Amino acid sequence: MQSFIDISRGLRNPADLEALLQSITKEMGFDHFALMQHVDLTPFEKELGHMVTGQLIGLSDYPENWINQYIDDNIVAYDPVLLASQRTNVGFAWSQLDQLIDLKRPHFEQLERGRQAGIGDGFTVPSNVPGEANGSCNFVVKAGRELPAKELMMAQLVGSYAFEAGRSIITHAKTNIVEKTQLSPRQIECIALVGRGKTDWEISRILGIAESTVKDYINDAKARYNVVKRVQMVIRAIYDGHLPLSELLR
């Protein structure tokens, strides 16, 4: 395991990472792997098959027809596995999907289509870095086979470090450190209240200040984020970690 981490850290080439992942996937008793970011692919080039420097992470040894179907049908938009991977930070077996999300008919149909393409059960390690596309490293067995229960912990580690290796291959080529936008405490309070659907007047009553002041804070925050609408401002504040989504639902 330690040697996998050390090797993966030194990689500078997607193909090397792919080969490394392929061998460790077999070693752990899985049949296929897929390391990917969950981006609705339609607006982009159809590049899931390999990694493009400075762009998206996407490596996999899934059967080719499944990869093509995945791209053509834009399955990334509703794959239950990927939805579930946005609900946790540790790996999960696909057989436990229903504990993470509410499985509806299209989800079952999707899993069934996978089985017909040879994709059976799987273990998915989520990889979510704020400000980047959500991603996951998926290890799967052929339909009919069982997951190698004893290797799941290993898969958890491999998945995390593999994804990080992918990120680092990309970001080494790119160097884009985005500074977290600074907001004043008062501004964060206003944004939180905006997120809860309050009007400026209501916020002014809650904070005990003038409506015009509330407008000032919000306008300044929008300017800092370089956006024009308060919806965008709230989204950005969530992404930045200034607000937890759960605070806004109360």
Q: Which of residues 158-187 bind DNA (CB under 7 A)?
A: 182, 184-187
- The residue count for binding its own copies (CB under 8 A) is 70
C-alpha to C-alpha distance for 134 and 6, rounded to whole angstroms: 24
Tell whether residue 2 is a contact of its own copies (CB under 8 A). Answer: yes
Q: Write down the least CB distance from residue 54 to its own copies, Å.
A: 8
Residue 211: CB atoms within 10 A of its CB come to 14
Q: Which of 71, 209, 235, 248 binds DNA (CB under 7 A)?
A: 209
Nearer to DNA, 27 or 109 (CB): 109
Q: Which of residues 211-250 bind DNA (CB under 7 A)?
A: 211-213, 215-219, 222, 228-230, 233
User: Among candidates 40, 108, 33, which has minimal Cα distance to 76?
Assistant: 40
DSSP 175-235: ---PPPPP--HHHHHHHHHHHTT--HHHHHHHHTS-HHHHHHHHHHHHHHHT-SSHHHHHH
Which helix (H) or strand (E) segment holds residue 18: the answer is: helix 14-28
C-alpha to C-alpha distance for 183 and 198, rounded to whole angstroms: 19
Which residues in this chain contact its own copies in the complex, by CB under 8 A?
1-2, 5, 37-40, 42-44, 55-56, 74, 83, 86-90, 101-102, 126-134, 153, 156-157, 160-161, 163-164, 167, 177, 179-180, 185, 188-189, 192, 194-197, 227-232, 234-236, 238-239, 241-250
